[in-house]
Amino acid sequence: MSELNNQLWASADILRGKMDASEYKNYLLGLIFYKYLSDQELRAVYEEEHGKVSEYPSRQDQLAGLLDWYKEDAMDVKDIISKKLGYFIAPDYLFYTLRKKADEYELQISDLQNAFIELGRQGDHFTGLFDDIDLTSTKLGANAQQRNVTITEVIKALDEISLFGHDGDVIGDAYEYLIGQFAAGAGKKAGEFYTPQSVSKIISEIVSIGQEEVTPFHIYDPAMGSGSLMLNIRQFVKNPWKVHYHGQELNTTTYNLARMNLILHNVEQSQMQLRNADTLDEDWPSDEPYLFNAVVMNPPYSANWSADDKFLSDPRFERYGKLAPKSKADFSFLLHGFYHLNENGTMGIVLPHGVLFRGASEGMIRKTLLEMGAIDAVIGLPANIFYGTSIPTTVLILKKNRGTRDVLFIDASKDFEKQKNQNSLRNEDIRKIVDAYKKRESIPKYTHLAEYDEIERNEFNLNIPRYVDTFEEEPQIDIVELSNKMVDLNLQIKQKETEFLGLLDKLAITDETRELIEATKLIFA
């Protein structure tokens, strides 16, 4: 992890000052992705002759093997590797080849641009992936020569990263690091497309409970961001390579990031169904499958949406009789996701606390969900754990056909580690939340299992402090002991004052000090 961070820092340092973090992350993450594809191809070529090995030779040796085969039969190597990986990058366009040119300061912007164009022609899953990397931007340099120098230095820095030696979510880890280091530059919207790994793990483990052996497993994120929230499900199911990913994202840049992330995690094209569109404006997916084993979501909080009357007859919203307000689309996202949950599935969604207690149309929707028994659990998270917002958030767990209408409340708001810019959930905090969810019983000052009648008495208000009492009583004060201490302290003060006045009397009195000494004595008179 430290190597990844160090090289990202070095790469960002080249671009910092030229553009803000929200822009240079596109360059860095896009280039990391292209490097991964290139280095993966070199390994694939080596494995064709030598099989998989525990240690691979240098990329220089791997490239030499590819060049020998390519000179002998270019079509053969292209056909075999394309079938194996789903793409083939010509030797001249491999990231390592570009790095070698960069070392000699022979790299031209056009080399990289042509490399992106060629890869984009190799299937729909690569189309438009690098559109956010504007190699003609004057922010890289005022002229072509300056832009060449900038990209040359970035490529040299990024090529030092060993992606195969990195244990984890490369795009997600890189993104989290960039946002963490440059939160001010990344801006308020940063939290809208990246869910911290700790929160992802909580949601992923909970939605997988009882479904660990389901095959194939279909997961859906209608506001998928970078896709990391979906990918975490692999840790908790028995057949991680049989998971199918369905996701939608409005922001094109972030949509491309999710596509890269899934490809980086070796998700087959046939197992990903992703769409760049507005989730609320038009229902999707409408073709099979449109009901999923798990629905996960961290939508933009209290976003605006049209709330047009036409949605009152939309099957996602019609049974609730009311629409979420125009200025707060939180329940619109929730109802969309719940509509696409299958009868035995589980949904986890991150939302601001307002959804728990706001009235008017939101109160009506919440009441209907509670009457249906749809809300299974309410988990209160600590404040300041998401990038770009310090507000406390809640995870709502929803199910269909539960057979009961009780709700488990978990107040995890006080369990975290305080860090420089963010609060962080530790492994023990995550474990405590998930274990409490599984046990589904009341734990003093942490959880409360509320029956429907209790919720009804609270007028369907789900504000967590109504159910989990975390009030800590102040210790009893011993008045007699306190009085004795005060008397003793007053005696000590009097004694010190007497000693001080005695010292004043011993001072030599002159015309200059007389007035000061007399004024000081008056203070203690």
Q: Which helix (H) or strand (E) holds 349?
A: strand 341-352
Report, in angstroms and rounded to the nearest whole number, the Rg of the chain calculated over CA atoms. 31
How high is the pLDDT of residue 185? 45
Confidence category of residue 16, pLDDT binned at 50, 70, 90:
confident
In 3D, which of 180, 146, 139, 162 has the Cα closest to residue 419? 180
Residue 61's pLDDT band, with cuts at 50, 70 and 90, is very high
pLDDT per position as a tens digit, 464-489: 999 998 765 667 777 888 888 888 88
Q: Write the CB contacts of 425 (distance below 8 Å, at least 6 apart in sequence).
A: 196, 198, 199, 202, 381, 382, 385, 412, 415, 416, 417
pLDDT tens digits for 486-518?
A: 888 888 888 887 887 777 777 777 777 777 777
**Residues 43 and 58: beta-carbon distance below 8 Å:** no
| 78 pLDDT higher than 90 | yes
Q: Reply yes or no on whether the pLDDT at 422 is more than 70.
A: yes
Neighbours of 304 (CB within 10 A): 11
What does the pLDDT look like over 326-368, one tens digit per residue? 999 999 999 999 999 999 999 999 999 999 999 999 999 999 9
Scanning the structure block, which residue is given the tokens 């010509």? 90
CA distances from 378 to 229, 293, 357, 372 (A): 19, 20, 12, 16
Helix (H, G, I), strand (E, B) or coil at 201: helix
| Per-residue tokens: 71 | 């000179």
- Looking at residue 174, its amino acid is A
Give the helix, strand, coil percentages of the chain, each rounded to 5.
Answer: 50, 15, 35
- Strand 375-380: give its sheet, edge to edge: 272-276, 243-249, 217-221, 292-297, 341-352, 393-399, 375-380, 407-411, 447-450
Tell me what percent of the residues of the chain surpass a pLDDT of 90.
63
Give me the amino acid identity at 268.
Answer: E
Confidence of residue 7 (pLDDT cuts 50, 70, 90): confident
Residue 100 in this model has a pLDDT that exceeds 80? yes
Length of the chain: 525
Angle 21-50/144-158 helices, nearest 10 degrees? Answer: 60
Select from 196, 198, 216 the least CA-distant residue to 267.
Answer: 216
Which tokens sit at 481?
């002991």
Please determine, for residue 94, whether its predicted confidence score (pLDDT) is greater than 90: yes
Tell me, yes or no, if the pTM score tops 0.85.
Answer: no
CA-to-CA dists, residue 74 to 89, 90, 97, 335, 368, angstroms:
12, 9, 17, 53, 64
Mean pLDDT across the stretch 247-273?
A: 90
pLDDT digits (tens, 9 = 90+) for 427-451: 999 999 999 999 999 999 999 999 9
> What is the reported pLDDT for 190?
44
Between vectors from CA 410 to CA 409 and to CA 415, what angle results, nearest 5°?
160
Smallest Cα–Cα separation from 348: which of 233, 249, 203, 217?
203
Within its chain, how far is the Cα of 184 from the centroid? Answer: 16
Question: Taking residues 378-384, what's their average pLDDT?
Answer: 95
**Tokens standing for residue 323:** 């629409």
How much is the pLDDT for 328? 95
* pLDDT number for residue 186: 45
Of residues 338 and 19, the one with the higher pLDDT is 338
